Chains A and B, each alone.
Chain A
C-alpha cells in the first residue's frame, strides 16, 4: 500500500521532471559562464547550509544527550526535503549540480575518510583482531554478494516485474550492495564507548569491505557477457587477490617512501611544505592505484597506516598536529556530506526508475545475505578459537558471543560506496537497479542506523569503555608544548585502553581490581615523570610490550600473569640505562617460547605477529625512523632520538613475560 503510494509519487515526480526538462530547454543559455557560476554558487551554498545544519544537529544531539535519533538519519532526511524542494522548483541547473556524481564521490569525498581511517587506526587492536576482520571482509562479503545475487536472479527469473537480469549482472548488483558503511555505526559506538574489540571488528570489516566489493564489482563487469562458471569464479578470485596485494603494496611503498624522504631531507624545517607533501603523497597513492585498475581504497588505507607508523615520527611537531587535525576535519566534513548527498540524490536524480517490489525483495535479500554471512562465519571463528584454546588446555570465552554476532548483523547497513558503484551498472535495467540500490541504502541507514543505540541497550553490550580517542585530544591540547610528553602520555593511554580491552575479555573481578591498580600506576607514572624525557620515554614505548603481554597472558597463562603489565612497566623503566644488555637478552630470548609447544599451527598468527614486531623494531624502524640528532632548536626533534634509545626495552619486557608465561 505504502509502496504503491510511494511509487505513484515517484512517477508523478519523474513526469514533473521531464516536463521541467522540456521547459528548461529554452534556458540553455546557461552556457554563459557567469550565469553558470551563479547557479553553482547557489548549489554549493545550499549544500554548505545543509552541512552546517547537520553538524549543528550533531552538536545539539550530543549536548542534549539525545540518543534516539542519529545525525546521519537527520542528514538524510534534510537532504531528501531539500532535494524535493529543488526538484519542484523550476529550472534544472541547480538540480544537475547537486545530483550524485560517482566521480565526485570517488575523487573528493571518499579519500579523506579512508585516509583518516588509516591514520587513526588503532594498529594494535586492528592486528590483534585481524583474523575475524579478514574473515568477515573477504569471505563475508563474498557470501553476501553471492546470496544477494542469487536472490535477485531468482526474483528476476520469476518475471513478476518484467526484469531480465543475467546472472553476472545480478552478481554485480550483489557486490554493489555488499559494501557496508561504517560511519553511522562507528560514530554511535564512539559516543557510547563500546568495547574496542567489537568496534575494531566492525570498523575493519567495513573498511576492507568497500575495497572487496569494489574489486568484486569490477571483476563481474569484466566477466560481463561471458558465462560465469567455475573457471570464471577462480579467475575472479585470482584477479581479486592480485589486485588486493598490489594495492596494499602500492600503499605501503608510498608510505615507506614518504618516511624515507622525510628522514633523508631537511624538509622538516619547512613544516608548511611538509604538511602539503604528506597530504599529496597519500592522495597520489590513491589516484595512482585507481589509475592502474587497482583498489585505491586499499592503497590509501595502508598508506595511512604506514604513514602513521613510520613517517609520523619523522615529521616536525607542527606537521604531526596539522596532518592529524586536517585529516580529521576533512574526514568529518566528507562523512556528513555523503549522507546529505544520498538524501538529495533520491529526488534530484532524474533517470531513476523505481520498482517497489524489487526494492522490497532487495531489502529482504540484504537481511538474508547479511545473516548468511555473519552467523556461519562467526560460528567458524568461534570454533577455531575454541580448538586453539583447547590445544592449550584451558577454557576461554567465545571470541564472538551471541550479542556481538547480532550487533555485527545489525552493523550491516549499506553505504554510499554502493551507490557510487551503482553508476557503473550497465544493461537495460540499469536505471531500475540504480534506483533500487539508492533506496535500499537509504532505508538501511535509516532503519539500522536509527536503531543501533537501542539495539546496543537491548543486547546489553557493555558501553562506557574508556577509549583513548577523546582523551588524547584533550591531552594534545595541553601537551604538545613539550616534544616527548605528548607521545608519552598518549601511548600510556593506549596501554590503559589495552588493559580495559583485556578486562573485558576476562570479566573476572579479581583481575579487574589488579588491573585497576596497574592502570592507576600507569596513569600516575607519566604525571610524576613529566618533563624528564629519559624516564618517560621507556614508559611510553613499552606500549608494545604491554599489549603483547596482555595478549599472551590472555592466551597462554591465565590470571596468573595478571599483574605483569605493571611489573613490565617498572622494569622497563628501570632498565632504561642498560639498554644494550636488554636488547641482547631480547634477541636471545625471543626465539625460545616458540619451540617445543603443542599447537604450533594454532599459534602461527601470533608468531607471525611477533616476528613482524621484532623485524619492525630492529630492522625497519632504525632504517626508516629519523635517528640523527639535530642541531635545530625545536624541541620536537629530540623525540625520535629518545625513542631510539628506548626501543630495545619493549622487546626485552615482552620476552621476559614470555618466559614467565611459559
Chain B
C-alpha cells in the first residue's frame, strides 16, 4: 500500500521531471556561458554546504541534548531528500545536474579521506588481535552474502513478475554491490556509547575490508559479463580477487614505508608545512595509483594509512603529527556527513532511475536473508574453532562471539554509499531499475538499521561505557607537548 503510494508519487515526479527536462532544453544554450554556469554551481555548492552545516549542527544538538532516538545520519538523509525534492520541483535543471550523485566524485573525493582516516586511526593491536574474525567476515561473509543475494534476485527475475531480465552474472554483480556494508552510522553510535572495543573492531574491520571485497567482486563479475559462469570461472574469480587484494595491500604498505624512509633520511622535518602536504599527497598517490592499475585503491589507502601511522608518524615533526591528524579527521568527518546528504539528494535528483516497488521489497528481504546467511553460520564456525583451540590448550573458553554479538553483527549490515557508487557501473537493459533499487535499498537500510541501532544495543544488553583510548590520545598528545615545552623552558632558564 505504502509502496504503491510511493511509486505513484515517484512516477508523477519522474514525469514532472521529464517535463522539466523538455522545458529546460531552451535554456541549454545560454548555460554554456561560463559565468552563468559558475553562478549555478555556486548555488549548488552553497546548498550542499548549508545542508552540511545543518547536519553538523543537528549532530551537535543531538549530542548536547543527549537525544539518542534519532541519529544524525538519518536526519542528513531526510534533509537531503527534502532539499532534493525541492530542487526537482523547482524549474531549471542545472542545479539538479550539479548536485546529482556522480560516482567519480564519490570515489575520487569523498571516499579517500574516510578510508585514510580509518587506516590512520586504526587501533592496530585490537585489529590484529581480531584479524581472524575480521577476515572471515570480510572475505567469507561478503562472498556468501553476494552469492545469496544474487541467487534471490536471479530467481525473482526468473519468475518474471515485473518483466525483468537479469542474467546471472548481473544478478551476482548486484549482489556484490549490495554486500558492501557501511560503517559510518554504526560506528559513530558505537563511539558515542563506548561499546566493547572487540565488537567495535570486528564491525569496523569487516565493513572497511568489505568495501574493497565487494568492489573487487563487482569488477570481477563485470569482466565475466556475457560469458557463462562455471566452476572454472569461480576459481578464476577467487584467484583474481586474491591477487588484487595482495598487490593492493603491498602498494599501500610500500608507499607508507617509503614515506617513513624518506622522512627519516631527509631534513624535511625542518619544513613542516611541506611535510604535511607531502604526507597527504603520498597517501592519495597510493590510492590513485592503485585504482589506475585496476587494483583496489581502498585497500592500498587503508594499509598506507596504517603504515603511515605505525612507522612514518614517529619520524614526523611535532607540527606535522598534529596537523595531519586534525586534517584527516576533519576531512573525513566532512566526507562522511556529506555522503549521507548526497544519498538523500540523489534519491530525487537522479533523473534516469526506474523504480520497481516489488523488486525493492524483494531486494530488501534478500538483503536481510543474505546478511543472515553470512553472519550466523560464520559466527558458529568461528566459535567452533575458538572452542577447539581452547580445548586443545585445556582451558575453558567463552564463546568468541556470544549470541548478542552475532545479532549486533547482523544489525550492523546496513549498506552504504559504496554500493550506490558501484551501481553506476551496472550495465544491461534493466540497469536503471537495478540502480534505483540499490539506491532505495541503501537509504532504507540506513534509516531502518541505523535508526534503531541505539535501541538494539539496549535490548541486547551489550556492555557500553567501556573506556577506549581513542579520546585519551589527544590528551596524551597535549601532555607530551607540555612536557617537552617545560623541558625546553628548563634549558632556557
CB contacts (< 8 Å) of A326 on chain B: these are 323, 326-327, 330
Q: Measured between alpha carbons, how far is A291 from B329 in the docked complex, in Å?
A: 29
**Cβ of A77 < 8 Å from any Cβ of B?**
no
Residues of B within 8 A of A482 (CB): 482, 485
Is B323 within 8 A of A329, CB to CB? yes
Judge whether B285 and A325 touch: CB under 8 Å: no
In the complex with contacts A63-B267, A273-B60, A284-B50 CB distance below 8 A: yes
From B317, B322, B479, contact of A321 by CB (8 A):
B322
Given known contacts A59-B268, A482-B482, is B291 in contact with A38 (CB within 8 Å)?
yes
A272 and B53 form a contact (CB under 8 A): no
- Could you tell me the distance between the alpha carbons of A296 and B46 in the complex, rounded to whole angstroms? 12
Chain B residue contacts of A283, Cβ below 8 A: 45, 49
Do B285 and A48 touch (CB < 8 A)? yes
Name the contact of B333 in the complex, choosing from A32, A218, A276 (C-beta under 8 A): A276
For the complex, count residues of A whose C-beta is within 8 A of B. 71
Among B274, B326, B327, B474, the residue within 8 A (CB) of A58 is B274
Q: In the complex, what's the smallest C-beta–C-beta distance from A370 to chain B, in angstroms?
A: 26
For residue B294, which residue of chain A has the nearest CB? A38
Question: In the complex the two chains form, is A287's CB within 8 Å of B45's CB?
Answer: yes
* Chain A residues, CB < 8 A from B37: 103
Question: How near does chain A come to B48, taking the closest CB pair, in angstroms?
Answer: 9
Q: What separation, in Å, do the CA atoms of A221 and B34 have in the docked complex?
A: 12
Which of B274, B427, B484, B492 gathers most chain A CB within 10 Å? B274
B43, A37: Cβ atoms under 8 Å? Answer: no
In the assembly, what is the distance between CA of A266 and CA of B329, in Å?
A: 20
Across the interface, which residues of B come within 8 angstroms of A276, CB to CB?
Answer: 52, 56, 330, 333-334, 337
Q: Scan residues 473-528 of chain A and give those whose CB is less than 8 A from a CB of chain B.
A: 473, 476-482, 527
Give 1 or 0 for each of A47-72: 1 = CB within 8 Å of chain B CB.
01101100110110011000000000
Residues of B within 8 Å of A52, CB to CB, are 278, 281-282, 285
Choose one: B104, B277, B278, B488; the contact of A40 (CB below 8 Å). Answer: B104
Question: Once bound together, how far apart are the Cα atoms of A58 and B39, in whole Å?
Answer: 35
CA distance A63 to B274 in the complex (A): 12
Contacts of A479 in B (CB 8 A): 485
**Which one, B59, B107, B274, contacts A273 given CB within 8 A?**
B59
The answer for the CA separation of A494 and B268 in the assembled complex, in Å, is: 27
User: Which residue from chain A places its CB closest to the CB of B290 in the assembled complex?
Assistant: A41
Question: Which of chain A's residues 335-383 have a Cβ closer than 8 Å to chain B?
Answer: 336
Closest residue on chain B to residue A261 by CB atoms: B57
Contact A477 B46 (CB under 8 A): no
User: A272 contacts B33, CB within 8 Å?
Assistant: no
Closest to B102 in A: A33
Query: DSSP class of A's interface residues: helix, strand, loop or mixed?
Result: helix
Are A102 and B42 also in contact (CB < 8 A) when A55-B281, A321-B326 are? no
Does B425 have its Cβ within 8 Å of any Cβ on chain A?
yes
> Is B17 an interface residue, CB under 8 A from the partner?
no
Nearest-neighbour CB distance to chain A for B316, whole angstroms, equals 12
Chain B min CB distance to A349 (Å): 14
Q: A37-B107, A55-B281 are in contact. Are A279 and B288 (CB under 8 A)?
A: no
Question: Bound state CA distance, A32 and B238, in angstroms?
Answer: 24
Tell whether, in the assembled complex, residue A291 and residue B42 are in contact, meaning their CB atoms are under 8 Å apart.
Answer: yes
Cβ-based interface call for B63 (8 A): yes
Say how far B137's CB is from chain A's closest CB, in angstroms: 26
Residues in chain B near residue A293, CB distance under 8 A:
39
Q: Do residues A290 and B330 form an inter-chain contact, with CB atoms below 8 A?
A: no
Instruction: Given A45-B292, A291-B42, answer yes or no on A332-B277 (Cβ-Cβ < 8 Å).
Output: yes
Given A44-B108, A424-B33, the answer on whether A296 and B289 have CB atoms closer than 8 Å is: no
Give Cα A479–Cα B41 distance, bound, in whole angstroms: 42
| Residue from B57, B266, B288, B484 with most neighbouring chain A CB atoms (10 Å) | B288
The smallest beta-carbon distance between A644 and chain B, in angstroms, is 24
Q: Which residues of A contact B43 (CB under 8 A)?
A: 287, 291
A 317-334 to B, binary, CB cutoff 8 A, 1 in contact else 0: 010011001101100110
Known: A55-B277, A290-B38. A318 touches B60 (CB 8 A): no
Evaluate contact between B63 and A55: CB separation under 8 angstroms.
no
What is the minimal beta-carbon distance from A233 to any residue of chain B, in angstroms? 21
| A42: nearest chain-B partner, CB-CB | B292
Interface string of A247-271 (1 = CB under 8 A from B): 0000000000000000001110110
Q: Is the CB of A424 within 8 A of B481?
A: no
12 further interface pairs, Cβ-Cβ under 8 Å (given A218-B35, A482-B485, A527-B489): A33-B104, A51-B277, A275-B330, A277-B53, A280-B334, A293-B39, A318-B474, A325-B323, A328-B273, A329-B323, A478-B481, A478-B484
Could you show 7 A-B contacts with beta carbons less than 8 Å apart? A55-B274, A103-B38, A273-B60, A322-B327, A329-B327, A332-B273, A423-B34
Which residues of B come within 8 Å of A, CB atoms?
Answer: 33-35, 37-39, 41-43, 45-46, 49-50, 52-53, 56-57, 59-60, 63-64, 103-104, 107-108, 219, 222, 266-268, 270-274, 276-278, 280-282, 284-285, 288-289, 291-292, 294, 297, 317-319, 322-323, 326-327, 329-330, 333-334, 337, 424-425, 427, 474, 478-479, 481-485, 488-489, 492-493
